[in-house]
Structure 1
Amino acid sequence: MRDNGVVTSATRQPAVPAASPMLSTSRERGGAPVGPPRLIATDLDGTLLRDDKSVSPRTVAALAAAEEAGVEVFFVTGRPARWMDVVSDHVHGHGLAICGNGAAVVDLHGGPGAHRFVKVRDLARENALDAVGLLRDAAPGTVYAVEQTYGFYQEPAYPKLHMEVPDTRAPAEELLAVDGAGTDQPILKVLAYHPELDPDAFLTLARLAVGERATITRSSPSALLEISGPGVSKASTLALCCADRGISHEQVVAFGDMPNDVEMLTWAGRSYAMGNAHPAVIAAASGRTVANNEDGVAVVIEQLLAERL
């Protein structure tokens, strides 16, 4: 494991619209009202971003207003760093984002291709090999890809699910071998795809099969799982970042829509499930906002800032 420094920021609009029937008040666990936030942690896909992967003008304004009010904004995503160009213009002074479901904290200054890894919480090759073997036995037909800090590798049968062409195609056991591809770079996560299984059933099966050797979650609507190092999650890395800044979990407001957000939403003092969220996310969050295409994150930020006045 490699840990160095930490943290992140981003980018609001004025006037809170009439209260939406979907927007529910979020309170600290136990029912007590929560004080003014010091940090906003938001997922990207299905949460901050609209379905066309854009950041709406209203959301840009809301994020900027939060920063101007002294509330830091962290982007906390399952995306690799090289897919962060969509929000790299909105990270403000410190320029940091949490990527790969907590596997890395990245300085996005310099734009696409020039990012610097500030903190890496890698998946050991031994753990990755164990996870692949156990999941092959539990779910025959699973195919794999390997995400590293700067490299991307996949098995020949792995479908075209991502934007880039892989650096190498080979069986996962070869890619993850001690002398395999990209041994000079840490592994951030292994992707496991099954063409037939129900996504939630696949997640449950994989967690039971792999146990504590790795952390397994999912953020895709398909049966695509994300396998990270033991204890690595959006929540655990966000907690490290907040500790570095003297921010307690009660001072964090979090937003998410998929199972990879559950731990973060449970950890934060105040949290919101999007109107389009997975049922497990709705159950985990302490509040709910409207869908990503209706700027649900901006709606809450505007309300939070209005309450500070």
Structure 2
Amino acid sequence: MGEDGAVTSAPQRPEGPFPMPRLIATDLDGTLLRDDQSVSPRTVAALAAAEEAGIEVFFVTGRPARWMGVVSDHVHGHGLAICANGAAVVDLHGEPEFVRVRPLERTVAISVVEALRAAVPGITFAVELTTGITYEPDYPPFFQDPGAHVATAEKLLYEDAEGSAEPVLKLLAHHAELAPDEFLTLARSAAGDYASITRSSPTALLEISGPGVSKASTLALCCAERGISPAEVVAFGDMPNDVEMLGWAGTSYAMGNAHPDVIAAASGRTTANNEDGVAVVIERILAERAAAQPRTPL
């Protein structure tokens, strides 16, 4: 049974046979990963089986490239991941290497900061660069980045704003008191014309990317380069930053622990992340594919 009381012992999906996908796109936190940040043996086996069957697997996450060690041992075939909510495509073979960057221009980022400071008193920011992160003194510290630089967002963004500095992948905005969805609504109202604003945290933490940059739009670019149509993609997610991707993919699954907006956007539902919901669906896809294969006469 899922956290909201819904029975999720088996995937719920659209009527008809499973599509024969060419690509599986899966979020990480709250989706592929268990709550302890591990990838279960069952999920490891399912990912390997999908790749062996010729189905590409893309990790599509809000995480920065430097936090991808949680899946580095499970990279097969292509080894690409979409990070920072679509702002970067990263090759995970060896040390993470940026293949594509879709930056948030500094002048746009400054406009977003100014608009949100005026609209939402008490807001604090962090700035995610291709080289690491910096955050403001009152922003919750990043324990995974103990050497992060502390400064105001304006100070960092105005430095080399003409383009000579490292690309900005996204802004992070935090509020200590607002409810997460209320914060998201306020921010989109104040600055949604400047940038893409979403969230993936259970706290009031927003993620702000360049206009039109999302998991969905970058995944669409990667698929177009491979001649893969949306109908040939199966996607998984659990939080609002997955909504566009789940709506774009031909077949999509909200996890049993998913946000209500994600459940509404997906075409099906699977079990929770701690119950290996991604693996459950992959196993069924592969079983149906095997059953559809013509049998060789003995």
State the partner residue of 1:56. 40
Structure 1, unaligned runs of 5 or more:
1-19
SS of residue matched to 2:158: coil
Aligned equivalents of 1:256, 1:103: Cα separation in 2:
18
Q: What is the CA–CA distance in structure 2 between the aligned matches of 1:126 and 1:34, rounded to whole Å?
A: 46
Match of 2:145 in 1: 164
CA distance in 1, matches of 2:148, 2:275: 38
Q: 1:119 and 1:142, CA in 2 relative to 1: closer, same or farther beyond 3 A? A: same
Contact 1:23 1:287 in 2 (8 A): no
Picking from 221, 237, 247, the partner of 1:266 is 247
Runs of 4+ off more than 4 Å: 31-34
Q: 1:88 aligns with which of 58, 72, 78?
A: 72
The Cα of 1:157 is off from its aligned counterpart by 0.9
| 162 and 249 in structure 1: CA distance in 2 versus 1, 3 angstrom threshold | farther
Identity of aligned residues (%): 71
**Structure-1-length-normalised TM-score:** 0.88
State how far apart, in whole Å, the 1-side matches of 2:96 and 2:73 are.
Answer: 13
User: Which one of 270, 287, 292 corresponds to residue 306 of structure 1?
Assistant: 287
DSSP 3-state at the match of 1:87: helix
8 A Cα contact 2:18 2:285, kept in partner = no
Equivalent residue letter for 1:280: D
The answer to whether residue 98 in structure 2 is matched with residue 109 in structure 1 is no
**Structure 2: gaps spanning 5 or more residues:** 1-6, 291-298
Aligned length: 283
Judge conservation of contact 2:127–2:172 (CA < 8 Å) in 1: yes
Residue in 2 aligned with 1:68?
52
Q: Which residue does the alignment assign to 1:196? A: 177
Q: For residue 13 of structure 2, what is the aligned residue in structure 1?
A: 26
Distance 1:279 1:305, change over 3 A: same
Work out the CA distance in 2 between the residues paired with 1:247 and 1:32: 21
* Distance apart, 1:159 and its partner CA: 1.2
SS at match of 1:86: helix
Separation (CA, whole Å) in 2 of partners of 1:224 and 1:215: 14
Give a deviation string over 1:186-244, Cα, whole Å, max 9, x none. Answer: 00001000000000000010001002210000000000000000000000000000000
- Taking structure 1 as reference, are residues 216 and 77 closer, same or farther at Cα in structure 2, changes over 3 Å only? same
Which deviates the most, 153-162 or 95-104? 153-162
Question: RMSD between aligned alpha carbons?
Answer: 1.5
Partner Cα distance (2:201, 2:180) in 1:
8
Letter in structure 2 aligned against 1:243: A
